[in-house]
Amino acid sequence: MGNKTRWLLDRSSDLNPRNMRLGMYAWVMQRLSGVYLVFFLLAHITAIAQANFGVTKGLQATILDALRNSFTAGGLSTTLFDLIALGIIAFHGLNGIRIVFLDLGFGVRAHRLSFWLFMAMAIAVSGYVIMLGLPMLAKAT
């Protein structure tokens, strides 16, 4: 094993799946989802900037138009793109609230239970937003 990958792959690494338990998976997923959301944020800013300045022709316009309002102007693929982002935002946000509570000292002993409770809330929040958007999606297609 190369020296460069020891921190990740070594038997003694905290990130070796054999050493990882629920809390560590939550930590890793929080970081991975965070990195994804930074890229999403930059893409979202770009899309809004260009859409608000009215690119009106061609493929670029179609993509930007769809990105501008996923529920009314999007095709299936952009809706899927936004739904994935919605799910990841809900995960990152709810798990983040849980982390703040843990940092404040609430629920440290029940952190495994609270993870699943907050994940249930993340699914509920995503479901609620999708439920709000469904009639608009049906109207647009």
Q: Give the residue, chosen from 9, 15, 49, 124, that forms a contact with another protein under the rule CB under 8 A.
A: 49
Closest distance of CB 38 from another protein, Å: 4
Q: Give the residue, chosen from 2, 11, 38, 109, that forms a contact with another protein under the rule CB under 8 A.
A: 38
Q: If binding is defined by CB under 8 A, does position 123 make contact with another protein?
A: no
The answer to whether 74 touches 82, Cβ cutoff 8 Å, is yes
The answer to whether 113 touches 90, Cβ cutoff 8 Å, is no
Q: Give the residue, chosen from 9, 15, 42, 43, that forms a contact with another protein under the rule CB under 8 A.
A: 42
Count residues binding another protein (CB under 8 A).
28
Q: What tokens were used for 88?
A: 């990841």
Return d(Cα 66, Cα 51) in angstroms, integer: 9
Q: Write each residue from 84 to 113 as x if it is in contact with another protein (CB under 8 A), else as -, in one continuous string.
A: -----x---x--xx--x--x----------
Orientation angle between helical segments 58-68 and 76-104, nearest 10 degrees: 40
Q: Which of 130, 118, 129 is nearest to 30 (CA)?
A: 118
In eight-state DSSP terms, residue 16 is: S
The answer to whether 95 touches 115, Cβ cutoff 8 Å, is yes
Compare residues 19 and 52 and give the one whose CB is closer to another protein. Answer: 52
Residues making contact with another protein (CB under 8 A)? 31, 34-35, 37-38, 41-42, 45-46, 48-50, 52-53, 69-72, 89, 93, 96-97, 100, 103, 129, 132-133, 136
